[in-house]
Amino acid sequence: MGKVIELQAVSKTYVMGENEVNALVNVNFAIDEGEFVSIMGPSGSGKSTCMNIIGCLDTPTSGDVIIAGKYTSKMTEKELSFLRNQTVGFVFQQYHLLPNMTVLENVMLPLRYKKIPPAERKALAQVALERMGLSERMSHLPHELSGGQKQRVAIARATVTEPKIILADEPTGALDSETGHNVIDLFKNINKNSGTTIVIITHDDGIGHSAPRTIHIFDGRIKKDERNV
């Protein structure tokens, strides 16, 4: 299988008034299609910046980023948005569910951006929620769900478009330990059953090493890239 994510000598510098902050410094790594990888580091290490660049939410100051065979560094905002919508599903720590939409409507939303007809959007969203064990929660609003249920809705929303890549930013950070490990098991099943590339961003050592491969980042630099037994 080919590389689906590749960072080549990627650096990212933010200008904060008179100061420059080097969020990433000469980062190099590649992730193959179908891999399950964690990117791990403490707060401020650069892991979220790395995720934003992989997810086409940000661009590097220098270096090349290749996502699903496409060089993103010189893309326009419109081109980046199209690639992101076609290729990447996102799962966030705080779920980012729209509070006034039902569970079903939240999961249907990314399909609207792909211009899929309403009836097909509904059917696909229902299937995605059923896979997450949420068939009885489709008409509920987010505030009526537990934290674990909200995260499963977010995973259903991320997977409903069948993206090549799922980026999960601290997906267990707002959950208790048992629920968090259940969420990781869901990602493992998605990876195994559909071959979707999963990248989890985390500061948690246990969560990070539950992936077959862990990329350690510290002060914007890759410190270690290891395979976990």
Q: pLDDT digit string (tens) for 169-213?
A: 999 888 888 888 898 999 999 999 999 999 999 999 999 999 999
Q: ∠ CA(12), CA(64), CA(15), 5° rounding?
A: 15
For the chain, which residues make up each domain, given as ranges?
A: 3-227
Could you tell me the pLDDT band of residue 73, with boundaries at 50, 70 and 90?
confident
How much is the mean pLDDT over the chain? Answer: 93
User: In terms of C-beta density within 10 A (0-12 exposed, 13-18 middle, 19 or more buried), how is residue 203 classed?
Assistant: middle
- With b for 16 or more beta-carbon neighbours within 10 A and e for fewer, the 100-114 pattern comes to eebbbbbbbbbbeee
Whether the per-residue pLDDT at 72 is higher than 70: the answer is: yes
CA distance from start to end of the chain: 21
Q: Are 222 and 28 in contact (CB under 8 A)?
A: yes
- The least confident of 11-15, 93-97, 145-149, 219-223 is 93-97
Reply yes or no on domain 3-227 having CATH 3.40.50.300. yes
Please count the other Cβ atoms lying within 10 Å of the Cβ belonging to residue 2.
10
Going by the DSSP 8-state scheme, the letter that residue 223 receives in this structure is: E
Dihedral sign computed on CA atoms, order 86, 146, 49, 77: positive
| Single-letter amino acid, residue 105 | E
pLDDT digits (tens, 9 = 90+) for 117-153: 999 999 999 999 999 999 999 999 999 999 999 999 9
Secondary structure of residue 83 in the 3-state scheme? helix
Within the chain, what is the greatest distance between any pair of CA atoms?
54
Q: What are the beta bridge partners of residue 164? A: none
What per-residue confidence (pLDDT) applies to 128? 94
User: Which strand ranges, in their side-by-side order, compose the sheet holding 19-32?
Assistant: 19-32, 3-16, 62-67, 70-71
